[in-house]
Amino acid sequence: MKGRDLLWLADYSTEEIWAILETAKTMKERFYSGERVIPVLSGRTLAMIFQKPSTRTRVSFEVAMYQLGGHALYLGWRELQLGRGETIADTARVLSRYVDGIMARVYGQETVEELARYADVPVINGLSDLVHPVQALSDMYTLWEKKHRLEGLKLAYVGDGASNVAHSLILAGSKLGLHVAVASPRAHRPRKEILRLAEEAAEATGAVIEVLEDPLEAVRGADAVYTDVWVSMGQEAEREKKIRELEPYRVTPSLMEHAKRDAVFMHCLPAHRGEEVVDEVIDGRWSIVWDQAENRLHTQKAVLALLLR
């Protein structure tokens, strides 16, 4: 995987995804056995470009680079010359002369793809409007850690089926043989392109990808129930309309009761408590959201070690 970009999971094979998850497990075990620094990226630098806000992605990537013996630079889009019209291509060419990898959080997927086209170093997608691959990798690792398997698990995703997180979970699930049941209103179904790629991958792995309208049907017998915010970054103008349409998709204790008895509740965070999920669920016995957030660190250490070494 050395030298590869990570723009979305459609480009990664089942074996490669498993290699990342296995490495994440090793990273976490070594961290807890006292090895705070595993200096495989000593002397290496990661540039982190942000067009949108972030808590988890920013901090976990920066700490990950530090714990791998390297260094990370936070670069706000508007503070770069990009904000004054320097092209993405020129920025990618110049950064490639200084750093060993670029992580970018952007609006359009085409922006991260353009960065990758012109950069000579690996480019990692830290969220675009279309996908959030490092989140899904980390979530798969968390599910594997909790359930000790991935194949055949039922993951119910309830809410905005066209969110970047939903798309990446569908792609990851299809590569790893999960049963992913998405429940969303018709207007917010996953994009066709994502479903087509997932169906293709599912043929080889035995994954099942279902798109439904009824949240109860999606959650029935699920091992994990997942939701994301109803209004993603950049969609503020559609806020009222989306909230109205997604109202029946709130994750409540009574919805959770339809899942398996030992089902877990997952959320990429940040959560809008009272909208897509209520306090009794996110703070309740089902919730594994803090472990999920922590695992971003271990999983991204794996990604960085494999791609940038």
Rounded to the nearest whole angstrom, what is the least distance from the CB of residue 168 to ligand NVA in the complex? 10
* Active-site residue, 186 included: no
Rounded to the nearest whole angstrom, what is the least distance from the CB of residue 126 to ligand CP in the complex? 7
* Active-site residue, 105 included: yes
Catalytic residue (one of 51, 135, 292, 300): 135
Q: Which does 228 bind (CB under 5 to 8 A by kind): ligand CP, ligand NVA, none?
A: ligand NVA
Residue, CB closest to ligand CP: 57
d(CA 215, CA 213): 6
Of 52 and 220, the one with the shorter C-beta distance to ligand CP is 52
Catalytic residue (one of 268, 292, 298, 300): 268
Binding stretches for ligand NVA (CB under 6 A)? 127, 163-165, 228-229, 232-233, 268
Of 106 and 153, the one with the shorter C-beta distance to ligand NVA is 106
Q: Which amino acid is at 122?
A: P
Q: Which does 55 bind (CB under 5 to 8 A by kind): ligand NVA, ligand CP, none?
A: ligand CP
Binding stretches for ligand CP (CB under 6 A)? 54-57, 127, 135, 268-270
Rounded to the nearest whole angstrom, what is the least distance from the CB of residue 57 to ligand NVA in the complex? 7
Rounded to the nearest whole angstrom, what is the least distance from the CB of residue 250 to ligand NVA in the complex? 16
Of 233 and 243, the one with the shorter C-beta distance to ligand NVA is 233
Of 40 and 269, the one with the shorter C-beta distance to ligand NVA is 269
* Active-site residue, 250 included: no
Contact in structure between 37 and 277 (CB atoms under 8 Å): no
Catalytic residue (one of 132, 167, 179, 189): 132
* Active-site residue, 135 included: yes
Supply the residues annotated as catalytic. 105, 132, 135, 228, 268, 296
